Amino acid sequence: MKNLTTLDYWTKAHGAINIELNSNDLIKKWISSHIDFKSIKNVFEIGCYPGRYLTIFGDQGVEVNGLDYIDEVYKIPKIFELRKYKIGQFFCNDFFKFKPDTKYDCVMSLGFIEHFKDWEDVFFKHFEYVNDNGYLIIEVPNFRGLFQKIPRMLFDYENYKRHNLRSMKLNEWNDVLIANDFEIIYSGYFGGYKLWFEEDKNCRFCLLAKKYMIRGLRLIKNILFQSKEEHSSFSCAIGIIAKRK
């Protein structure tokens, strides 16, 4: 399986564990708007480190579980204990070598499938974890949208290359899930027009060029999409929530 990132990259990118999540976090708002927490006993996050998105479920009394290949994943339960969460199992393992011995009421991966060349295989493997009548939550950033793609190619190219744009096809997600007996609860783009960059170019010209290009793109977006809050061309995130029949 061709991985577009490395363990060293993720270890450095995440740094020390920080599970604090802003109350206005777009992922938190999205999940909370479409999930019935009362119907979920346990959740499993694929690529769970550093654990902040599991707090969405932990705060609702749901048992939290997860898998990651970063060694520090084993520190997450100790931190969750301080919040009095219900804690299940946390595994440090390669997603493609790991065989789950149980299934879960909710399985999620956030910003995960797009970092693999063969993203379809990654998508299908999620199904192994999902209980009957269980939820599946998958989210990726929307790097395909024209108003997201242009500034990333120009000012965040190394990060851009770590993402497989072929994985960002919502219609294909829908088709795969429906064919595998999932009911679609939510499928769409969300988060509005937000941009984040990993590369930090400090030269004055780069900063000015980025500033005015983004300002120009926002102006064009507002002209072309006056009445649209979300659209595949500019929204920052793509997400799907489905329930197994």
- pLDDT tens sequence across 13-63: 787 788 999 889 999 999 999 999 999 999 999 999 999 999 999 999 999
- pLDDT greater than 70 at residue 200: no
Q: Is 175 exposed, middle or buried (0-12, 13-18, 19+ CB in 10 A)?
A: exposed
Distance CA 93, CA 91 (A): 6
pLDDT at site 140: 98
Q: What percent of the chain lies above the pLDDT cut of 90?
A: 82
pLDDT at site 74: 94
Mean pLDDT, rounded, of the chain: 93
pLDDT at site 132: 96
- pLDDT greater than 70 at residue 201: no
Angle of helix 146-155 versus helix 204-224 axis, rounded to 10: 170
* Centroid of chain to Cα 141: 7
**Least confident segment among 135-139, 163-167, 202-206:** 202-206
Of residues 225 and 11, which shows the higher confidence score?
225
- pLDDT greater than 80 at residue 203: no
Of residues 202 and 104, which shows the higher confidence score?
104
* Model pLDDT for residues 125-164, shown as the tens digit of each residue: 999 999 999 999 999 999 999 999 999 999 999 999 999 9
Q: Which band of pLDDT confidence, cut at 50, 70 and 90, is reported for residue 213? A: confident
Distance CA 238, CA 232 (A): 8
* Model pLDDT for residues 179-197, shown as the tens digit of each residue: 999 999 999 999 999 998 8
Please give the model's pTM, rounded to 2 decimal places. 0.93
